[in-house]
Amino acid sequence: MKKCSTICIRSTLLMLAFCLSAQCFGEATADITVTGTVTDAETGEPIPGVSIVVRGTTQGTATDGLGKYTLTVSEEAVLVFSFVGYQPQEIPVNNRSTIDVALQTDIQTLEDVVVIGYGAEKRSRIMGSIGSVSSESIQQSKGIVSPEQAIQGRVAGVNVSSTSGIPGQGLRVDIRGAASVSGGNEPLYVIDGVPMSSGTESRFDFGIPPESPIAHLNPSDIESIEVLKDASAAAIYGSRATNGVVLITTKRGSEGPTQFNFSAGIGFENVRKKLEIASSDDYLEVMNEARANYNADRGLSPGDAGFRPPLVDPREPGQQDTDWFDLVTRSYARLENYNLSVSGGNAKTRFFISGEYMNHEGIIHTNGIDRISGRMNLDHKASERLDLKVSIGLSRTENNRIQNDESGRGILVRSLEQRPYDKPFKEDGSYTVGGVDILRHNGVQVINEQDISLINHDAVFEASASLKLLEGLRFQSKVGGEYRSSHEYVYLNANHPRGGSGGVVHDWRSTRSNMLFENTLTFEHDFTDKLHFGGLVGHSLQKFIYEPSYVSGEDFPSPSFGYIESAGRITGGWTSWTAYALESYISRLNLNYDEKYIVWFTLRRDGSSKFLGDNRYGWFPSVSAGWRLAEESFIRDLEVFSDLRLRASYGMTGNQAGIGDFAAVPSASGGENYRGATGIAIVNVGNPDLTWETANQLNMGLDAGFFGGRLSFTADYFIQKTNDLLYNRPIHTTSGFSSTVQNIGSMENRGIELSIHSVNTEGRISWTTDFNISSVRNELTSLIGEPIPVGEHHVIREGEPLGSFYILRQLGIYQTNDEVPQPQFNQGVRAGDIMYEDINGDGLITSADRQVIGSGNPDFYGGITNTVRFGNFDFSAFFSFKYGNEIYNNWARRLDSFGTYEYALRADNIDKRWTGPGTSNSVPRAILGNFNNQNSTRFLEDGSYLRLQNVTLGYTLPSNVVEKIKARSLRLSVSARNLFTITNYSGMDPEVSATLSPTQLGVDHFSVPQLRSFIFNLELGF
Amino acid sequence: MNLHILKRLSAILALIFTAGCSDVLDISPRTSVSPDNLGQNEVEQLLNGVYKQFQNGPGRDNVFLFDLLGGNLLTSNLGGRNEFIEHDVDADNGALRTMWYGYYRGIYRVNILIETLERLEPTPRNQEILGIAHFFRGYAYYSLVTRFGGVPILRTETRDFVERNTEAEVWAFVREELEKAIDLAPDFSSKSDPYYATSDAAKALLARTALTLGDMATATQLSEELIESGDFGLEDDFASIFRSGSDSETIFAFENRFDEGVTFGALFTTVNYPTGGSYFFVPVDEMYDLFDDEDLRKEVTVSSYSALPMVNKYQGGLQGGDPIIIARIAEMYLISAEAQGLAGLDRLNELRVMRGLDPLAIADEALYAEAVAEERRRELAYEGFRWYDLVRTGKAMDELPTVTAEYQLRLPIPVSELDLNPLLEQNPGY
C-alpha cells in the first residue's frame, strides 16, 4: 500500500494547490428593490417559503405567508425562484421593480436524478432495479437510531427485520432473499461513495446481534438512500454486491441564503404486551402434578429410591407473588434527539454543516445508546474545470448493552423464569442468590452490579477532485475511508453473581481502518442529436485493517475500582491483527437512442487478498436494456400512459463476506500454551481451492404511469442463482476440526416485487398512497455432501429454503396408554405425552425422525403508507406486514415445560394441559422428563403480522405567525410507532430472531420486544 | 484534441491503471505459520498444544462426568436439569459433543505430532516425545471407549469418513499405545513433575485398562510396580492432593492453570464462596453417610458452605487452578487390592489406615469385592471413576434407579457426528 498512499498524498496536495490558487468568491452590486408575488401556475394560490436567490451569489430571501417577497439587487441580476415540487425559474431583473412569478408544478422533480454506483443518472434512463428512499420519508421515521430502519417496509424487495427492541442493535437487511449462506447476508453499505467495512466491535456475547455497521450515521444527515437490487445496478460493486448494495448520500449545501434547520424530538417507549406468568398457586399445582405423575408411572411411593417428593410451598402467610418483569424493566424508556444543520453557499462554494445529539433508552434498566455526531460537507468550484468536494462525518456512540436472549445470562428471560414466589432481596436487604435462594441469577443484582459499555469513535470521510478535461470528459480522483476506534468494557463487580471474589473486568479495544483510493474517468458524447453515449472507466484500491486487543483482570479493591491498573491479577490478554485488500477495475458504458432505447453495460474485475493463485481475480459483468414505450408516438397517441417502460437485465455479482481474511491459508497458531510454555496447533487446514461465490441474476421489469403520473406502478420479476456458495461448513470432528470454509453448492431466489404510487386527491386536501409487496422463494438447488444441520432447529438441505426448520412433528397427544407404541412405552412414555411422527417407523422417537417443517422466510411482505395533507396539517400512517413465516418459540420450552424444568410457567397454557383422555390433543400432561420438550412443532408458531409501524400527525404554523418570531418555518408533530400489531404469535412480539443469519432465521429466545413509542417533534427553520 | 490535452489524458490514464500495486493483495497472517514449516523447532510447541487440548478440549463437565452418571451428584437449582444424572441423554446434548470433539481434536494433534516426528531425526528427546504422544493417544481412546464403546481408530490424521471399530479393537489399541508409551516416554523420576506425562502415567493407565479387561495379572504387576517404585507414596495430608502444589500421590495430572485451563471447580463452589462459583452440582446425601467421622477424606470430599452442601475437593471456584488428576497412587493400591482378590487385602488396609480408618478383616471374596468397591467410591469420589466402576462390574442397573435398560450403559454418539459422517452408526437404543 506504500506506493499507493504516496500517490494518494500527492494527488491530494495537487487538489489543495488547485483550490488555493482558485478565486473562491464572486462579487455583486445592489441598487434596485424588487417586490412581487409567487403563485402556483395551476391554482393561482400564493406559495409561501419559495426561495429567491440572485444567481451566482448567496444573496436572497424567501416568500412570506402570502407568497410576497422583497429583495434589493443589482439591475442586471438574475433571480432564481425555487421550491420543492415546482420547476425552478430564472428571471432576469432587467431594471424592473415588480416581478410576479407563477411556478409550474413538477411531479418528477423528486425522482429526477438517482445516485448510482460511481455516478448519478436520470431515473428515466435507468434500466436496472433501484429502490429509493427520500429524505422526506427518512424524516418521517422518527425515533430511529440507525438509517436502515428508515428503509423498513419502504422499498419493494427489501425485507428489513429487527431482532429485538434493543436500541442500536443490528437489523437484518435482506435484499431479494438470502443470496448467500455465510455471515449475516448484509448488503454492502456505501456512504458518499466509500464502501464501508462490515465488521462489528461488539465482542462480548450478549445474545444481541452485532450493532448496525452504519449506526454511527445521523439519519437526519441523509439526503437519499438508494438500494441497488438487481445485477445491472449492483454489479459495478462486483465481489461485494451479491447481497445488494445500499448507497447513502448525505446532504449538501445549495446555492442561496444560509438556512438554519433545528429539530428536536422527545418521546417515550413502553412494552406493548406483557407476558403473563402463572401465580404461585397454579405453579405449585402443575409442578406437583408432574411429580405425582412421575411417581405414579414408576409405582414409586414415599421412601422408595427415586421417589420425587412434592414441592413444599415456601411462602410466608400473605406473601405476594413477585413481578420479575417489572423489577428489571423501566415503566417507560425515554428517547430524545436534537439536530441543528446550517447550509447554504454561493455559485462557487456550498456547505452543509450539522450536529446531532441522540439518546435512546432501552426498556431494561441501564440499557441505552447515545450518539453525538457532526458533519461537514463542502463543495467548491475552483475553476470552470475543477470541482472539489469534501465530506466528513464524525461521531461518538456509547452503547450500554445488556444481556439479552438466552445467552445464559439474558436478563429478561432469566427473570421471567424465576419462580413466582422468588424474591429479589432477603429480609436483611441483601440480594437473594441465584441457585441458593432463587432459581436463576438475580436479574436485579446483575443489572445493578455491572458496568457495560461499548464506545465507538467513527470518522467517515471522502475528498475528491473532479477535473473537466474536455467537453464530456471528466477525471475524478477520490480518497476516502473510515476509521473507528472502539472500546468495549465489561465490569462485573464483586457483588455481581459472576464477579468472582473481587470483580472481573474484560476490556477490548480495537482500531479499524478502511482506506480507499479511487480514480475514474467519465465520458459523455452525443454522436447525433439522438444517439447519446456515456460511461466511465476506473480503478479502485481498498484495504481494511483490523487490530483488536484484549485484557482481563480480577480482584479489585472495591466495586469503585474498575480498571486493570488496580486489578489484583491480570488473567488474560492478547493483541491481534488481520487485514484484507481489494483491487478493482471498473467500467460502464451506456447508450441511449432518442431516450427510447437504452442499453447499459458494466464490467468489474476484482482481486481479493482472501483468495489464492488463479482464484484471486474474478470478472463481474452485467448488461441491461430498456425500451421507453411512452416516448413512442403510437403509445403517446393512446393518451393513457404518462410513462411506460420495459426493462431487462442480466449480470453477475460476487460475494466473499462471511469468511475469514485468511480462510484459504492453512495455518498453525500459537496460544495453545501449557504451563506457561508456548504451544502451537494447526487451527485451520486451509482451502486453496476457495473461490468467489458468484450470483447470476436476471431481472425483468415494467414501469407504468397513468393520469399524468398520478398513478404509477413498478413491477419486477427476478431469478438469482448463486453458485459456489461459501460456507463455514461443519464437518465430522474425527477430522480434528469442527468446520472448514468450503464452496458448498448453489441456491436460487425467485421473486416478484410490485410497488404502486398513487396521488388520490390533489389541491386543498392532498392524499397519496404508496404500497409495496414482494414475494421471494428461496431454494438450495444443490449441495455437495450431506445435509448440514444448523444449530438446534435448522438444516441446510437440497431442495429446501435456507432457514428451514428441522424438528419433530407433533401429531397429537396419546389419549390412552394403549396408543403408545411399545418401544416408547418401555422408555416411560404414557397417555398425556406427545405423539410425534415416527418417520423411520422404528417405534422410537429419535433424531432420525426430524423433518423439514416450515421456515423463517415469509411468503410475502411489504408496506403501505398513506399521506394526507389538508391546509397546514399533515398526516401519515405506515403499515408493514409479513405473511407466512414461522417462529420457533424456544423460550416456551422452559416456560411451558410443565415439569421438565422448575422454572416459572406461562399463564396462558397451563389450563390447556392434558389431564385425562379427551382433555387436550395439543398440550401434553405435566410430567418430569424431557420427552414432551424435544424440539418439535409443539413450539412452532405462525409469525405473520400486520403492524402499524408509524403514524404521524403534523401541523405547520402559518407563515404570518412564523414571521413574528423571525423564523422561516415551524412544524410541530407527534408520531407513534408500533401502535398495534395483529399477529397470532403468542410471544411478546413477532418481529424477533435470535440471529441475523439466514440459516437460523426465526428463533425466539425471548428477546426484548419491539416497543411502542410516542414522540413529539419540533422542526424550526430560520 | 490538442497535444496538451492528450498529454494530460495519458498521464491520467497512467495514474488510473498503474496505481494498482501488484503486491497489495499479498497479505499474510501475522498470528500463525504455515504447517508446511513445522520442524524440529516446533516439536515441543506441538506437544504443549497436545497437553492444552486434552486438558481443556473435552470440557469442564467431562472432568467429573462419571460422577454425574455414577450417582455421586445432583444438580442445584442453577444447574437445571442434567441428562447425565437422569440417564436420559439426548444425542444432541452439547456437552456430549464437546467431549467427542475434544478427544478427536486431541487425537488429531497427536497424529500431527507423530507425523512431524517421523520426518525428523530420532533423537533421544524425539523418542521420548513420541512415547508421550502414544500415551495421549492411549489416554484418548481409553476415555472414548469408556464413554461411547467402539469408536473409529485413527492412526494417522484423515478427513475421510471413518467407520467405528469394535469395542474390543479399541481396547486392544489402548493397550498397544500404552505399551509403546511405557517403552519410550521418560520416567517420572527423571523430572518428578506430575504435570507431565511419563511412562509411569502410562503404566497406571494400563493397570486400569487391564483391570477393566479382567487381565488381573497385568493389573497387579503394573500397580505393584508403581507402588514399589518409591516415586510415589500415600499422602498424609489428603487435601494437598487436590490443591496445586506438591504432593506425593499424583502420577499424572493436568496442571490446569487458571490462565490456561478450565474452571471446572466452579461448578461445585457456591456463588458466595471466597473464590466464587457457579454451583451447578451438589453431592447426593448418600455421600455424607458414606464416610465415617474419623475418615480423613470426609471433610475434604464433601462439606458445606453457608449451610449448603458442597463438593470440597476443588476450591478454585471461578478463579480456577484446580489440577485435573488423571492418575494417582491411591488408585494403584485399589487396583492391586481388587486384582489380587482377597490376597490384596493388605493393600486395601494400608490405604484405609492412611485415611484414618481401621483395617478390615474379611475372609469372604464377595464381601471383600464389595469393600474394595466402596473404598474406591470414597477414595476417588469426584475424580471421574464411579460410573465406569459400576459399568465394568455390572452393577449400574442395580445401583442406579434411572438406569433401567442395557443401552443406557453407553452414551449416544453425538447426533452432529452422525449427521456429518454417513459411515457412523448410533449405539443401539438411541
For β-strands A804-807 and A851-855, DSSP reports them as antiparallel
The answer to whether A930 contacts chain B (CB < 8 Å) is yes
Provide the pLDDT confidence category of residue A6 given band limits of 50, 70 and 90. very low
In DSSP terms, which residues pair with A39 in a beta bridge? A46, A102
pLDDT of A362 strictly over 90: yes
- B41 lies in the same domain as B140: yes
- B138 lies in the same domain as B2: yes
* B373 in a structural domain: no
Provide the pLDDT confidence category of residue A111 given band limits of 50, 70 and 90. very low
pLDDT for res A278? 95
Residues of A in contact with B398 (CB under 8 A): none
Average pLDDT, chain A: 88
Mean pLDDT for A77-88 is 81
Contact B42 A789 (CB under 8 A): no
Pick from A700, A476, A481, A462: which is nearest to A586 by CA?
A476
pLDDT for res A15? 41
Domain count of the fold of chain B: 2
Contact B77 A576 (CB under 8 A): no
* CA distance to partner chain B, nearest, from residue A656 (Å): 14
**What would the pLDDT profile of A794-816 be if each residue is shown by its tens digit?**
999 999 999 999 999 999 999 99
Residues of B in contact with A675 (CB under 8 A): 48, 51, 195, 255, 257, 260
- B268 lies in the same domain as B150: no
* CA distance to partner chain B, nearest, from residue A852 (Å): 15
H/E segment holding residue A693: strand A693-706
* CA distance to partner chain A, nearest, from residue B174 (Å): 17
> Residue B378's CB: how many other CB atoms inside 10 A?
20
Rg (CA), chain B: 26
Of B292, B319, B346, the residue at which a domain comes to its end is B319
Contacting residues for B70 by C-beta, under 8 A, at least 6 apart: B385, B386, B387, B388, B389, B390, B400
- B271 lies in the same domain as B174: no
Tell me the residues of chain B between 63 and 92 that have a Cβ less than 8 Å away from chain A.
76-81, 83, 86, 88, 90-92
The answer to whether B39 contacts chain A (CB < 8 Å) is no
CA distance A698 to A708: 31
Burial of A325 (0-12, 13-18, 19+ CB in 10 A): middle
pLDDT of A469 strictly over 80: yes
Residues of B in contact with A901 (CB under 8 A): 80-81
Provide the pLDDT confidence category of residue A17 given band limits of 50, 70 and 90. very low
The answer to whether B5 contacts chain A (CB < 8 Å) is yes
Tell me the residues of chain A between 433 and 472 that have a Cβ less than 8 Å away from chain B.
433-436, 438-441, 469-470
Of B274, B295, B319, the residue at which a domain comes to its end is B319
**What would the pLDDT profile of A158-211 be if each residue is shown by its tens digit?**
888 887 888 887 788 888 888 888 755 788 999 999 999 877 777 776 777 777
The answer to whether B307 contacts chain A (CB < 8 Å) is no
* B160 in a structural domain: yes
Report DSSP letters for A114-177, one per residue. EEETTEEEEGGG--S-EEEEEHHHHHHSTT-SSGGGGTTTTSTTEEEEESSS-TTB-EEEEESS
Of A607, A673, A737, the CB nearest to B25: A607
Please report, for the domain that includes residue B16, its CATH number. 1.25.40.890
Amino acid at B383: E
- B28 lies in the same domain as B166: yes
Contact A737 B430 (CB under 8 A): no
Residues of B in contact with A786 (CB under 8 A): 419-420, 422
Q: List per-residue pLDDT tens for chain B, 430 residues long.
A: 456 666 666 666 666 655 545 578 888 877 777 777 788 989 999 999 999 999 999 999 999 999 999 999 998 877 667 889 989 898 888 899 999 999 999 999 999 999 999 999 999 999 999 999 999 999 999 999 999 999 999 999 998 999 999 999 999 999 999 999 999 999 999 999 999 999 999 999 999 999 999 999 999 999 999 999 999 999 999 999 998 667 999 999 999 988 888 989 999 998 888 888 888 999 999 999 999 999 999 999 999 998 889 999 999 988 888 999 999 999 999 999 999 999 999 999 999 999 999 999 999 999 999 999 999 999 999 999 999 999 999 999 999 988 988 999 999 999 889 988 999 999 998 8
Which chain A residue is nearest to residue B398, measuring alpha carbons? A305
pLDDT of A949 strictly over 70: yes
- B2 lies in the same domain as B119: yes
CA distance B25 to A3: 13
Provide the pLDDT confidence category of residue A994 given band limits of 50, 70 and 90. confident
Contact A519 B15 (CB under 8 A): yes
- B22 lies in the same domain as B161: yes
- B278 lies in the same domain as B154: no
Residues of B in contact with A465 (CB under 8 A): none
In DSSP terms, which residues pair with A867 in a beta bridge? A768, A876
For β-strands A245-250 and A188-191, DSSP reports them as parallel
- B148 lies in the same domain as B289: no
The answer to whether B10 contacts chain A (CB < 8 Å) is no
- B180 lies in the same domain as B280: no
* B101 in a structural domain: yes
Mean pLDDT for A244-266 is 92
For β-strands A1003-1004 and A886-889, DSSP reports them as parallel
Contact B25 A609 (CB under 8 A): yes
Domain of B18 in residue numbering reads as 1-61+90-185+412-430
Contact A499 B34 (CB under 8 A): no
CA distance A604 to A619: 6
pLDDT above 70: percentage of residues in chain A: 95
Report DSSP letters for A207-270, one per residue. SSPPBPTTTTS-GGGEEEEEEE-SHHHHGGGGGG-TT-EEEEEE----SEEEEEEEEEEEEEEE
pLDDT for res A2? 41
Which residue of B9, B38, B52, B132 to mutate against A (max A Cβ within 10 Å)?
B52
For β-strands A860-870 and A851-855, DSSP reports them as unpaired
pLDDT for res A392? 97
CA distance B168 to B171: 5
* B296 in a structural domain: yes
Of A2, A674, A900, the CB nearest to B51: A674
Phi and psi at A15, nearest 5°, equal -65, -45
Provide the pLDDT confidence category of residue A406 given band limits of 50, 70 and 90. low
Burial of A468 (0-12, 13-18, 19+ CB in 10 A): middle
The answer to whether A311 contacts chain B (CB < 8 Å) is no
pLDDT for res B5? 64
* B114 in a structural domain: yes
* B425 in a structural domain: yes
Phi and psi at A323, nearest 5°, equal -95, 90
The answer to whether A685 contacts chain B (CB < 8 Å) is yes
CA distance A356 to A340: 7
Pick from A783, A958, A751: which is nearest to A858 by CA?
A751
Q: What is the DSSP letter of A86?
A: B
The answer to whether A576 contacts chain B (CB < 8 Å) is yes
Query: CB pairs below 8 Å between A and B: how many?
Result: 268
CA distance A979 to A977: 6
pLDDT for res B15? 60
The answer to whether B381 contacts chain A (CB < 8 Å) is no
pLDDT for res B85? 92
Residues of A in contact with B197 (CB under 8 A): none
Residue A441's alpha-carbon distances to A114, A367, A495, A639, in angstroms, are 54, 18, 12, 72
- B295 lies in the same domain as B420: no
Which residue of A308, A733, A783, A792 to mutate against B (max B Cβ within 10 Å)?
A733
* CA distance to partner chain A, nearest, from residue B214 (Å): 30
* B117 in a structural domain: yes
Mean pLDDT for A624-635 is 91
pLDDT of A24 strictly over 50: no
- Our measurement of the distance from residue A668's CA atom to the centroid of its chain's CA atoms, rounded to an integer in Å, reads 36
* CA distance to partner chain A, nearest, from residue B227 (Å): 27
Residues of B in contact with A2 (CB under 8 A): 21
- B44 lies in the same domain as B176: yes
Residues of B in contact with A682 (CB under 8 A): 35, 108-109, 112
* CA distance to partner chain B, nearest, from residue A475 (Å): 8
Contact B88 A929 (CB under 8 A): yes
Residues of A in contact with B416 (CB under 8 A): 730, 733, 789
CA distance A337 to A141: 13
Of B51 and A901, the one with more pLDDT:
B51
Predicted-complex ipTM score: 0.89
pLDDT for res B392? 95
pLDDT for res A638? 86
* B53 in a structural domain: yes
**What would the pLDDT profile of A662-699 be if each residue is shown by its tens digit?**
888 878 888 899 998 989 998 887 887 888 888 999 99
Residues of A in contact with B30 (CB under 8 A): 577
